[in-house]
């Protein structure tokens, strides 16, 4: 009994002595990561506005990039100024790929939620606490970025018609440059691309993967992130500015979410302290 009491006492002493070191170390680590994420967030924010300004001042970039995939074939319709189609829009293979890539972000998020749920109801977690933190913040970035900011806000109020809806490419609505909210589109508009934002969010997960999975899953996820926006331009569903600016929003929001979490000490310091304390007590004889 006396030996047990001594062992417990030594354990408490070790935890008490390590408490300041653990706290200081993890606070410094949290500040370091917070600084990196904050710097990346500021850089991406400035880049986003710089590109938006460029596309707004030079709208011909959008027009020419969409025209590269447009085939003008006028029928006997004197009323039509421009008529034609985006051929890839009706091709079965690109349509199938688009359907698969469209649901990939949501499917990935549901899988991550399933991992979190299983970890919550099992005595022994199937992932580390740090991995749980990364999964949680990644899902939050998807909700804030592609879902809320892009699909709920920007696409509802931008008013920019999609390329195939404009009179430049067989439609009836006038073209408006990126950043102009004077278009006649009423809902689910072209600015910015939700699918490009979702695909970019998937690519943001690559650094968060376990190192052993990155060589296997990294290239396919990067492929999705590049092909998805390219298909949106080829289908006449978005302009080049829509997919670039939509894609940039995901890493921007990703960095902002992680920077906010690190700045507020989201689980990190408490989790690290608990893990080091358990490890110290476990080493006692």
Q: What is the pLDDT along the chain (285 residues), one digit of tens a residue?
A: 444 434 434 443 333 334 344 344 444 344 444 568 889 999 999 999 999 999 999 999 999 999 999 998 765 454 545 578 899 988 999 999 999 999 999 999 999 999 888 877 765 556 677 788 889 999 999 999 999 999 999 999 999 999 999 999 989 999 999 999 999 998 899 999 999 999 999 999 999 888 899 999 999 999 999 999 999 999 999 999 999 999 999 999 999 999 888 877 665 544 554 454 445 444 544
pLDDT value for 75: 52
Interior CA angle at 25 toward 24 and 29, to 5°?
115
Supply the pLDDT for residue 249: 97
Residue 131 has what pLDDT? 82
Copy the structure tokens of residue 140.
């939050």
pLDDT of residue 263: 79
Domain membership of residue 224 (yes or no) is: yes
What pLDDT is attached to residue 267?
A: 52
Segments forming the whole domain that contains residue 137: 58-261
How many domains, in total, are found in the chain? 1
Does residue 115 form part of some domain? yes
pLDDT of residue 28: 39
Whether residue 170 is contained in a domain is answered as yes
Q: Is residue 143 part of a domain?
A: yes
Q: Alpha-carbon distance 50 to 238, whole Å?
A: 19
Q: What is the pLDDT of residue 225?
A: 94
Is 83 within the bounds of a domain? Answer: yes
7 within a domain of the structure (yes/no)? no
Classify residue 200 as left (phi > 0), alpha (psi -120 to 50) or beta: alpha
pLDDT of residue 197: 97
Domain contains 19: no
What's the whole-model pTM score? 0.79
Query: Do 67 and 60 touch, CB atoms closer than 8 A?
Result: no
What's the token pair of residue 172? 């009836």
Dihedral pair phi/psi, residue 100, rounded to 5°: -70, -50
In a domain, 87, yes or no: yes
């Amino acid at each position: 009994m006396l030996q047990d009491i001594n062992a417990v006492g030594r354990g408490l002493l070790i935890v008490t002595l390590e408490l300041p070191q653990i706290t200081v170390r993890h606070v410094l680590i949290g500040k370091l990561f917070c600084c990196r994420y904050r710097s990346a967030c500021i850089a991406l924010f400035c880049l986003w506005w710089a590109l938006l300004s460029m596309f707004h001042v030079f709208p011909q970039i959008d027009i020419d990039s969409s025209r590269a995939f447009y085939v003008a074939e006028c029928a006997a319709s004197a009323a039509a100024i421009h008529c034609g189609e985006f051929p890839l829009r009706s091709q079965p293979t690109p349509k199938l790929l688009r359907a698969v890539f469209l649901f990939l972000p949501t499917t990935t998020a549901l899988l991550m939620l399933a991992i979190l749920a299983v970890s919550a109801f099992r005595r022994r977690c199937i992932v580390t606490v740090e991995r749980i933190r990364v999964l949680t913040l990644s899902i939050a970035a998807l909700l804030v970025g592609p879902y809320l900011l892009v699909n709920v806000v920007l696409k509802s109020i931008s008013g920019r018609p999609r390329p195939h809806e404009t009179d430049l490419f067989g439609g009836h609505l006038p073209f408006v440059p990126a950043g102009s909210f004077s278009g006649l589109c009423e809902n689910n508009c072209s600015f910015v691309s939700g699918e490009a934002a979702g695909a970019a969010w998937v690519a943001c997960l690559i650094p968060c993967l376990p190192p052993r999975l990155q060589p296997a899953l990294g290239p396919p996820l990067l492929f999705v992130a590049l092909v998805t926006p390219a298909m949106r331009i080829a289908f006449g569903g978005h302009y080049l500015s829509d997919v670039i600016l939509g894609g940039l929003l995901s890493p921007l929001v990703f960095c902002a979410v992680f920077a906010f979490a690190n700045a507020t000490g989201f689980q990190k310091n408490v989790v690290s302290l608990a893990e080091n304390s358990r490890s110290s007590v476990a080493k006692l004889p």
